[in-house]
Chain A
């Protein structure tokens, strides 16, 4: 199963989020992996253990920053991330969620094509060349490039029944091999995309569903999605994923046909269900990890430049706003307030009041303040006064 996990590099510290014209300058700041993505990686890992296949990480942003960021995911024994693709192009800078989702959807489509095309190539070689070293060489080449699963071709001693091997041994005819490859291609076309529920910088939670919509547009078929998934099981044989999610006051079980997209909630815990059928898992797994990250530009993606970056972003981030004015403050043990009801009165021909307990003596002449303090009308704001104000 092709498992695409969407990752994002976010500012390490929010104070560093220097903005130029309202756009985050990701090149000028320290990035960390979006903390919400950890659950997506965990879910992808679980899927791979259960169903086999390959975890492909897809991210977008400055490749110089992102490649080192993703490295621990490959190095770590615990992480099953096999390959990494970075969508990186100045044309993509300043993308809002719509433009981001468009680019990411193109990336997903290209990843899918990248894994389907080799199956066609191999079928073509078999059809053309029949039994020959050419077929073996082609299979070997694709296998080394991590592009075909063990079930298609493998040099693992434990895999003796790959399609190509059985064909080369004369156990199946060319027609059967081609038909089996077509079935394999069909299985591979049932990919899954997993993402975090949101990122810590934009906090929109929109990109997951929008990528599903974008891939739907590009593939010409509806890709369902489920957000806030807390539990799921995928069945590569039936090509479905059953997800459970909590949305507001509803808990919902959603059965989706693959390909589909999930965003994984913080509440997600991989189930302790026993591993899947090991032979099947092995057959759908690939040779190993590709240590080199791959960079794709807008041109590589065949993107419409009008839909990328600032040009492709309907929203514009404008000027900032300070939140609220400082309220009138009363500090316990510091602020002078009226301690009792004081009716209207005159002081040096000007009228003042009335005042209620707790009122601040704002803009009163100093002599008047002294007088009010002296006669006990004013007192320091204390915790008892505070208590009274809170419950009134």
Chain B
């Protein structure tokens, strides 16, 4: 046990016999860190009947995979999964351990981190490796720099200088999966783990249909914010009109340009629970820190001021259009195409231009 902790571990989630998109992204996140550390990416797979799933992990960049395969682990159960992970961490001592910042990743990572014990930096949108110098604690070489949104004002670097593994959850949508290479091979290691007896039991599991709208995989996201409740003169507007425009745009992108388009919303609009938008805008539309992180080809922010919590969820979009009456709105800092003006005037112009014959 005298060796230094090593390895960048990634906890791989799977459903219906395949790794989830979040897991493929997580391998890419792990790879970016492992290359800088000159360490290996180790996938951690838990479940039952996992034959050949490790091959997917290798194709997508994992150097090796640790598998706990037991019929008793067929359905996801936090206590047993956390136990399995904890026992591997204690035995093999990774340097870094990443989880997807989704409900399952957070469910296990939090318990494991407490038990180890080590720090847990959640919801990271970027990762880096840097030396860290702290006058009180000393110098640390090659630390994982965990970069996450911080109290609404900025991104913060989080360090876990003294504890190993450095544990972090990574926001889905923050890293793109690597190009799969079917020829890539890796090392498979089966780990013996027998789940214990727990004061809890999963009695029913249902796979839900993917959330609608599926913002994460859209090519175009048209997001609505509080700005749609008023026109450029500050007079109240029926937000269904703006929703109608957004829907028109979505239909044009899909029918005419074969781009998958979805309608998003700012947190403020979702939480305002505007009566007129009932059934149109809900929590599954939310883009931002507490909603979906998106990276579409085109992001159109309609009447969204662009608080940091929103920006971290869409700032990596390839082309950002922002329409807002306030020229000082923070969204304009990151928009490629700022349109200062009344949503109810600018949006129809955009629809006419994209849908009109000239742009075909």
Chain A residues proximal to chain B, CB less than 8 Å: 11, 14-15, 17, 19, 22, 24, 96-98, 101, 201, 203-210, 212-214, 217, 221-228, 242, 246-257, 260, 266, 313-324, 326-332, 383-384, 386-391
Contact in complex: A250, B207 (CB < 8 Å): yes
Contact in complex: A247, B107 (CB < 8 Å): yes
A332, B77: Cα distance in complex, Å: 53
- Set of chain B residues within 8 Å of A314, measured between Cβ atoms: 117-119, 160, 162-163
A–B complex contacts, Cβ < 8 Å, 19 sampled = A14-B307, A97-B120, A98-B117, A206-B122, A224-B78, A224-B198, A227-B103, A248-B102, A248-B104, A252-B205, A252-B206, A253-B205, A254-B77, A257-B200, A314-B119, A315-B121, A319-B157, A321-B157, A383-B349
Contact in complex: A206, B113 (CB < 8 Å): yes
Contact in complex: B110, A213 (CB < 8 Å): yes
Nearest Cβ on chain A to B342's Cβ, whole angstroms: 13
- Given the interface contacts A224-B198, A389-B319, does A321 sit within 8 Å of B156 by beta carbon? yes
Contact in complex: A250, B354 (CB < 8 Å): no
- Set of chain A residues within 8 Å of B210, measured between Cβ atoms: 249
Contact in complex: A96, B119 (CB < 8 Å): yes
- Set of chain B residues within 8 Å of A24, measured between Cβ atoms: 151
Contact in complex: A327, B335 (CB < 8 Å): yes
- Set of chain A residues within 8 Å of B156, measured between Cβ atoms: 22, 317-321
Contact in complex: A14, B152 (CB < 8 Å): yes
Nearest Cβ on chain B to A205's Cβ, whole angstroms: 5
Contact in complex: B153, A222 (CB < 8 Å): no
- Set of chain B residues within 8 Å of A15, measured between Cβ atoms: 152-153
Mask: chain B, 312-355; 1 = CB below 8 Å from A; 0 = not? 10010001110000000000011111111000000001101110
Tell me, yes or no, whether B235 is within 8 Å of chain A by CB.
no
Q: Which of B204, B321, B336 contacts A328 (CB 8 A)?
A: B336
User: Which 7 pairs between the two chains have the least Cβ-Cβ distance?
Assistant: A14-B152, A314-B119, A224-B200, A315-B119, A387-B353, A318-B157, A247-B103
Nearest Cβ on chain B to A226's Cβ, whole angstroms: 8
Mask: chain B, 222-234; 1 = CB below 8 Å from A; 0 = not? 0000000000000
Nearest Cβ on chain A to B109's Cβ, whole angstroms: 8
- Set of chain A residues within 8 Å of B157, measured between Cβ atoms: 317-321
Known: A224-B199, A321-B147, A387-B353. 11 other contacts (CB 8 A): A15-B153, A98-B119, A201-B151, A209-B106, A247-B102, A254-B203, A321-B157, A327-B336, A329-B338, A331-B339, A391-B257
Nearest Cβ on chain A to B90's Cβ, whole angstroms: 15
Contact in complex: A320, B106 (CB < 8 Å): no
Nearest Cβ on chain B to A372's Cβ, whole angstroms: 22
Contact in complex: A323, B334 (CB < 8 Å): yes
Contact in complex: A252, B289 (CB < 8 Å): no
Contact in complex: A255, B201 (CB < 8 Å): yes
Contact in complex: B321, A390 (CB < 8 Å): yes
A317, B106: Cα distance in complex, Å: 20
Contact in complex: B350, A250 (CB < 8 Å): no
Contact in complex: B334, A384 (CB < 8 Å): no
Q: Which of B113, B154, B162, B350 contacts A320 (CB 8 A)?
A: B154
Contact in complex: A256, B200 (CB < 8 Å): yes
A209, B99: Cα distance in complex, Å: 15
Contact in complex: B198, A391 (CB < 8 Å): no
Nearest Cβ on chain B to A100's Cβ, whole angstroms: 11
Nearest Cβ on chain A to B282's Cβ, whole angstroms: 11
Contact in complex: B203, A253 (CB < 8 Å): yes
A227, B156: Cα distance in complex, Å: 26
Tell me, yes or no, whether B115 is within 8 Å of chain A by CB.
yes
Contact in complex: B114, A98 (CB < 8 Å): yes
Contact in complex: A384, B359 (CB < 8 Å): yes
Nearest Cβ on chain B to A161's Cβ, whole angstroms: 32
Contact in complex: A321, B155 (CB < 8 Å): yes
- Set of chain A residues within 8 Å of B77, measured between Cβ atoms: 254
- Given the interface contacts A317-B150, A330-B336, does A387 sit within 8 Å of B354 by beta carbon? yes
Nearest Cβ on chain B to A387's Cβ, whole angstroms: 4
Tell me, yes or no, whether B158 is within 8 Å of chain A by CB.
yes
Contact in complex: B152, A205 (CB < 8 Å): no
